Amino acid sequence: MENRLELLTSVDVLNTLHGGVSEPQVSFSQLENAREIRIKAPSIAPESIQVEVNNNTLSIYYTMNITSAGKNIKLPYAIYNWQLPYFIDISKINAVVDGRELVVTLPFNALADGYHKKIKTRED
């Protein structure tokens, strides 16, 4: 049973079962106050692409529906996963549709300019 699950969740099998899926295009831009990720997936509507942050990891994915034994199963297809650095303001991350692309903006927080603190030595 475990081998069947591995087989069903492998990207190549899903690609074959669904008649082929074009690989999403991911591009990155460095802006003055943010980083920007643009995702274009030719066979996927940008509105259906999901963006989540879990334990400081940014995940961008969509789901593919597969019917097995009369049941509809949604299998996630990861487009991008990234451990967010300390200088990204997680609470202000946003995503908008721009034409056929999903644009995810990762704004910088105050630590983006670095952190400086002079530490005085104490005598015990």
Percent of the chain whose predicted confidence (pLDDT) is above 70: 82
pLDDT greater than 70 at residue 104: yes
Domain total in the chain: 1
- The confidence score (pLDDT) of residue 57 equals 96
- The confidence score (pLDDT) of residue 46 equals 94
DSSP 29-92: EE-SSEEEEEEE-TTS-GGG-EEEEETTEEEEEEEEEEEETTEEEEEEEEEEEEEPPTTB-GGG
Which residues are paired to 29 by β-bridges?
Answer: 36
Residue 46 near residue 102, CB atoms below 8 Å: yes
> Where does the pLDDT of residue 20 fall: very low under 50, low under 70, confident under 90, or very high at 90 and above?
low
Tell me the whole-structure pTM to 2 decimals: 0.73
Is 119 among the domain residues?
no
Structure-model confidence comparison of residues 106 and 72, the more confident one: 106
Residue numbers of the domain that contains 103: 23-110
Is 1 among the domain residues?
no
